[in-house]
Amino acid sequence: MKKVLFLAVAIASVTSLSSCKKDYTCSCTYDLLGTSTTASIEIAKSSKADATTACDAETTSLQTYDSAASCTLAAK
């Protein structure tokens, strides 16, 4: 019985660590009509890979208006 309980706890621990989702903030700086502008986008309950993809997409979107636009991702 102890072995079964130990195995169940071990599996639950590994599962909870592997699906870690956090809140992230994507902070972007760009030029808007000659004025330097900073905007933050909240990315809730996401994996780091998905948050990075979303932040990179925002950078690409802003670079259509300002080629020097950049965004950085940070965990909350």
- The fraction of the chain above a pLDDT of 70, given in percent, is 75
Residue 14 confidence (pLDDT):
43
The owner of tokens 């932040």 is: 55
Residue 19 confidence (pLDDT):
60
In the predicted structure, residue 55 carries a pLDDT above the cut 90: yes
**pTM of model > 0.85:** no
Give the separation between CA 64 and CA 49, rounded to whole angstroms: 23
Residue 28 confidence (pLDDT):
98
Report the sign of the C-alpha dihedral through residues 57, 58, 63, 68, in that order. negative
pLDDT, tens only, 37-46 = 999 999 999 9
